[in-house]
Amino acid sequence: MAKPQPIAPERVEDWIFDLDNTLYPASCNLFRQVDRRIRAYIQGFLGLDEEQAHGLQRRYFRAHGSSMRGMMLHHGMDPGAFLDYVHDIDLSPVPPAPGLDAALARLPGRKTVYTNGSTAHAGRVLERLGIARHFGAVFDIVEAGYHPKPQPESYRRLVARYGIDPARAVLVEDLAQNLEPAAALGMTTVWVAQDSHDLSARPDDDTVHHVIQDLAAWLSELTALLGNPDGAG
């Protein structure tokens, strides 16, 4: 595959951002809290001990893309109660992001959060970061019909929901495997490979078109020549 061309932000209609470990640093380690609460919910829902719940959590994640979907399919679990419980976490490790706020303000085009979590969780995180004003929509696991990334059905629903032209869309993600279906649709993909990631595990350029490590710095560089300091929010 030819080397990807630099992204021209003025030609992009849709910027699609993953939430967790993408819009805030992976070092915040919020997923450790979520992971513990997923296990606790499964333990209480099925009356298991912690080791049994952990085993089921891992098995359903591997088989279905999320523990939640496995619990829905095999145990008739209410996903709403589950999502409320697992996202009731402490967001204090997430620092406000004035640099990211400024960079997003300069970025033209629609901006959407695309998450395997809930809209409520996304809203809390965006407010904590101080960037909620930039995003017109959150496409969450509920809108995806409970099909988690990287299931292709989730991406098809996203594109249909907002009338996205994949050829003029950019998806920014911290998990490289979640970029593959987007690339297959024709989107430009950006992998946020933070310090905790193994850069040697990068897939080929058919899936990952651009690799960055600091989202705010990358967006600042990308928009530096646009000449619209007040941005379009």
In the beta sheet, which residues pair with residue 110?
A: 14
CATH number of the domain enclosing 79: 1.10.150.450
Q: pTM for the whole thing?
A: 0.91
How many Å from the N-terminal Cα to the C-terminal Cα in the chain? 34
pLDDT of residue 230: 47
In the beta sheet, which residues pair with residue 212?
A: 192
Do 137 and 41 belong to one domain? no
pLDDT of residue 194: 76
pLDDT of residue 1: 46
Is 4 among the domain residues? no
CATH number of the domain enclosing 191: 3.40.50.1000
pLDDT of residue 199: 53
- The structural domain count of the chain equals 2
How confident is the chain (233 residues) per 10-residue block, as mean pLDDT?
Answer: 74 97 95 97 98 97 95 97 98 97 97 97 98 98 96 98 98 94 96 66 74 95 72 42
pLDDT of residue 196: 47
Is 14 among the domain residues? yes
pLDDT of residue 233: 41
What is the torsion angle, in degrees rounded to the nearest 10, for the CA atoms of residue 123, residue 157, residue 167 and residue 201? 70
Q: Which domain holds residue 125?
A: 9-25+96-223
